[in-house]
């Protein structure tokens, strides 16, 4: 099961960036792609006019804009960005034609050497097709590029382009190579689109899970522990546990069997599965007992996926067809060596916990079990209030790629099973060619959050190949030995990534059932502490997560602190409340509700929690 693709993902990776430069994205208009691509060239031209010693590397368009990487002896400052943008305006207003030229590889190499641009020589080596295409801005500046571009810089609106930031990036995504400076920028067709983008960006910053996670006291990172390795505080751990318990209870109802597997395993295990051969560079370095073991690759590595371990549990005894389906489920923590530049809060980490399960079925059971898994995933998405805007992707292999294992027959059967299932459900879907796991196709659930960003959450995968590689069997009804089919599935994907998404989706305002603290009692003075503690204890006995503010602050500050911590239910306790055995209720969802008897408050909270509703 994979939460993060088991392949090099650095945004500095040269092959990936060449792909971005050469392949269009269907999600954006062709004109916008041309604008961004041309704007990146204009920016590079401006940089080299102002900083003649700066050497260019790559400058692809990306979601929302573009960037360019430079090797410059001096670091770019905010003042430099303003100067670069000013120079870009001058270039755009000159109405310079953008000219496409085709040259031979030899001619391109000769020109690059004349202007002493070593990075361009390396890029030229990566371009396999001929002729080589070059785009010129008049006769003043040029770069290797396949386009597309606008015809003239006059087609760019300087009021719809803005330089945003500078970041570090390694050449080819390799930490041993030169460190470059990456200038990020955004570009749009109109100033109004730019203004809307900036509004969305501000909203994204308000919802940033890294910021809110710190403010709400959910998780921390430590340089001493290492990047990409979150440390969960008590409140954050409670949040994880709530999600885990929610799914675990649902799984138990559906016949899943909990298992636990180690955090390390022999390299041989991953050789059999194929992960070692395909994704060795993404595994943490092998530990071997001696030099010979290291040379023979006979050591241990940190677990990067759970499926080979679950397979060993299945294989530990011979199963009858009567026992199938067998559903092994584990909240298993796995580790992958993501490059530091790719890490991002909880959504891209080096250690994460998958809500992993592997189901062993007969071929005849495959479709029914697949539909049951889809039903579970849809139920999870609905409970998390993420069902308003999602789509299903049939993630199939690219027949032209060599990254997959197994026979065409196995792949065709697996893909047919997935297609048949979604057609049976009448589910709207689209195909993603090349998005399959290396061992089998997937049905991925893509949800759109409050900021219109798309995230992959649930996934279910059909696998004929690992059962073959591990020689799995079951005893069929006629007494013969047959091969089971495996289903890999994860409704969450990973707890870390899911929590990061939920923090931003809810802007830290978790629904009542999921809030680490559901109710906070606010005594207006120490005189009313005993009553507040008594009520909190009654709530806790009913499973309501309640606490008492013991700070002794004035009521206004008590309320402000509870609001800042985004506590769903605030209960003010004063003389009137003690006398009437009631609470003055204020909620984030509905505002002031007035005085309500204690028992009624608890009953309503229990009902709302059970129904995944707010109070």
Same domain flag for 279 and 338: no
End-to-end CA distance of the chain: 37
**Nearest CA among 446, 435, 229 for reference residue 348:** 229
| Cα–Cα distance for residue pair 375/383, rounded to 1 Å | 12
Query: In terms of domains, do 456 and 416 share one?
Result: yes
Q: Are residues 298 and 314 in the same domain?
A: no
Instruction: Tell me: do 341 and 427 sit in the same domain.
Output: yes
Model pLDDT, residue 28: 52
Q: What is the CATH number of the domain that holds 43?
A: 3.30.980.10
Length of the chain: 615
Cis peptide before 325 (omega within 30 of 0): yes
Three-state DSSP at 219 gives strand
Residues with Cβ < 8 Å from 458, sequence gap 6 or more? 377, 380, 381, 444, 445, 489, 490, 491, 492, 493
Confirm whether 74 is domain-assigned: yes
Residue 267, Cβ neighbours under 10 Å: how many?
20
**Among 302, 329, 363, residue at a domain's last position:** 302
Counting the structural domains of the chain, the total is 4
The answer to the question of residue 440 being in a domain is yes
Q: Are residues 596 and 500 part of one domain?
A: no
Supply the pLDDT for residue 334.
Answer: 93
Q: Can you give the pLDDT at residue 164? A: 93
Task: Give the domain-ending residue among 481, 506, 531.
Answer: 506
Q: What is the pTM of this model?
A: 0.79
pLDDT along the chain (615 residues), means of 10: 40 35 47 92 95 90 90 92 95 94 90 89 85 90 89 94 91 84 94 92 90 93 93 95 94 96 93 86 78 74 93 96 96 88 85 94 93 91 83 88 84 87 85 86 85 83 92 95 95 92 91 94 94 96 95 92 94 94 92 93 94 87
Q: What is the pLDDT of residue 293?
A: 66
The set of residues, in sequence order, having a beta carbon less than 8 Å from that of 571 and lying 6+ positions away, is: 519, 520, 521, 522, 535, 583, 584, 585, 586, 601
Q: CB-based contacts of 395: which residues, under 8 Å, 6+ apart?
A: 432, 435, 436, 437, 441, 442, 443, 444
Closest CA to 381 of 496, 239, 490: 490
Nearest alpha-carbon partner for 153 in 33, 39, 309: 39
Domain-located, residue 56? yes
- What pLDDT is recorded for position 296? 66
From the list 249, 265, 260, the residue with the least C-alpha distance to 356 is: 260
**Long-range contacts of 12-16, Cβ-Cβ distance < 8 Å, separation of 24 or more:** 12/69, 12/169, 12/170, 12/171, 12/172, 12/173, 12/180, 12/182, 12/341, 13/172, 13/173, 14/58, 14/122, 14/123, 14/126, 14/171, 14/172, 14/173, 15/126
Residues 288 and 378 grouped into a single domain: no
* Structure tokens, 476: 């069929």
Domain with 116 in it: 14-207
**Residue 343: predicted pLDDT:** 82
Q: Dig out the tokens for 213 from the structure.
A: 């996670």
Q: Burial of 296 by CB count in 10 Å (0-12 exposed, 13-18 middle, 19+ buried)?
A: exposed
- Is 367 a domain residue? yes
Pair 241, 271 in one domain: no
Do 383 and 465 belong to one domain? Answer: yes
Closest CA to 493 of 440, 432, 447: 447
Same domain, 427 and 463: yes
DSSP conformational letter for 152: B
C-alpha 357/C-alpha 347 separation (Å) is 21
Reduced to 3 states, what is the DSSP secondary structure of residue 606?
helix
For position 55, what pLDDT does the model report? Answer: 92
Please report the pLDDT score of residue 5 as a whole number.
41
Q: Of 280, 302, 324, which residue is a domain's last? A: 302
DSSP codes of every residue in 343-400: -BTTTB-SEEEEEEEEEEE-GGGHHHHHHHHHHHHHHHHHHTT--SSEEEEEEE--TT
Residue 216 lies in a domain: no
Token pair recorded at residue 275: 């992960």
477 and 548 assigned to the same domain: no
Check whether residue 80 and residue 189 sit in a common domain. Answer: yes
Active site residues: 307, 336, 354, 356, 358, 442, 488
Q: Does 409 reside within a domain?
A: yes
CB distance 266 to 308 below 8 Å: no
Closest CA to 446 of 487, 504, 395, 398: 395
Residues 357 and 472 in one domain: yes
CATH number of the domain within which 563 lies: 3.40.50.800
In angstroms, what CA-CA distances link 593 with 268, 318, 532, 590, 600? Answer: 62, 61, 18, 7, 12
Q: Which two tokens stand for residue 382?
A: 């609905």
Neighbours of 99 (CB within 10 A): 15
215 inside domain: no
CA distance 297 to 290: 10
Residue 129 lies in a domain: yes
What CATH code is carried by the domain that includes residue 344? Answer: 3.30.930.10
Looking at residue 14, its pLDDT comes to 34
């Amino acid at each position: 099961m994979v939460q993060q693709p088991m392949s090099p993902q650095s945004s500095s990776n040269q092959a990936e960036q060449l792909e971005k430069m050469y392949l269009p994205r269907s999600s954006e208009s062709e004109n916008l792609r041309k604008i961004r691509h041309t704007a990146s060239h204009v920016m590079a031209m401006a940089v080299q006019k102002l900083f003649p010693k700066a050497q260019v590397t790559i400058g692809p368009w990306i979601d929302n804009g573009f960037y360019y990487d430079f090797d410059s002896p001096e670091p770019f400052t905010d003042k430099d960005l303003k100067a670069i943008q000013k120079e870009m305006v001058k270039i755009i207003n000159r109405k310079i034609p953008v000219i496409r030229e085709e040259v031979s590889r030899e001619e391109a190499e000769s020109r690059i050497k004349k202007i002493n641009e070593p990075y361009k020589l390396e890029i030229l080596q990566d371009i396999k097709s001929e002729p080589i295409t070059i785009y010129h801005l008049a006769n003043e500046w040029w770069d290797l590029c396949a386009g597309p571009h606008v015809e003239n810089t006059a087609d760019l609106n300087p009021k719809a382009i803005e330089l945003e930031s500078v970041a570090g990036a390694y050449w080819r995504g390799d930490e041993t190579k030169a460190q470059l400076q990456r200038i990020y920028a955004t570009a749009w067709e109109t100033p109004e689109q730019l203004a809307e983008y900036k509004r969305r960006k501000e909203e994204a910053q308000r919802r940033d899970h890294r910021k809110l996670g710190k403010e709400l006291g959910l998780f921390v990172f430590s340089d001493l522990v290492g990047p990409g390795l979150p440390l969960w505080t008590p409140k954050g751990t409670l949040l994880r546990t709530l999600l885990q318990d929610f799914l675990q209870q649902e799984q138990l109802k559906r016949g899943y069997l909990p298992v636990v597997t180690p955090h390390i395993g022999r390299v041989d295990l991953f050789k059999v599965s194929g992960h070692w051969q395909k994704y060795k560079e993404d595994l943490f370095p092998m530990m071997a007992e001696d030099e010979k073991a290291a040379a023979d690759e006979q050591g241990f590595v940190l677990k990067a996926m759970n499926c080979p371990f679950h397979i060993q549990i299945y294989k530990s005894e011979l199963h009858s067809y009567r026992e199938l389906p067998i559903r092994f489920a584990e909240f298993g923590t796995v580790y992958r060596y993501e490059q530091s530049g790719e890490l991002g809060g909880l959504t891209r980490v080096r250690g994460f916990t998958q809500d992993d399960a592997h189901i062993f079925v007969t071929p005849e059971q495959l479709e029914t079990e697949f539909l049951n898994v889809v039903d579970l995933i849809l139920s999870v998405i609905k409970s998390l209030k993420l069902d308003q805007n999602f789509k299903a992707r049939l993630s199939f292999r690219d027949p032209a790629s060599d990254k997959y294992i197994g026979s065409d027959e196995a792949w065709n059967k697996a893909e047919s099973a997935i297609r048949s299932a979604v057609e049976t459900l009448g589910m709207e879907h689209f195909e993603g060619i090349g998005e399959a796991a290396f061992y089998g196709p997937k049905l991925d659930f893509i949800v759109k959050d409050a900021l219109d960003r798309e995230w992959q959450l649930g996934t279910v995968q059909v696998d004929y190949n690992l059962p073959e590689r591990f020689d799995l069997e079951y005893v069929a009804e006629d007494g013969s030995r047959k091969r089971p089919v495996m289903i890999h599935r994860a409704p969450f994907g990973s707890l870390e990534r899911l929590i990061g998404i939920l923090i931003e989706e809810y802007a830290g305002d978790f629904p009542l059932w999921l809030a680490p603290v559901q109710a906070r009692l606010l005594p207006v003075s120490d005189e009313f502490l005993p009553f507040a503690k008594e009520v909190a204890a009654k709530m806790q006995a009913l499973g309501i997560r309640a606490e008492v503010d013991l700070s002794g602050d004035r009521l206004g500050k008590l309320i402000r602190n509870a609001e800042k911590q985004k506590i769903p239910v605030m209960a003010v306790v004063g003389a009137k409340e003690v006398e009437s055995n009631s609470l003055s209720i204020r909620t984030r969802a509905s505002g002031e509700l007035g005085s309500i008897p204690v028992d009624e408050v608890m009953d309503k909270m229990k009902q709302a929690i059970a129904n995944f509703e707010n109070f």
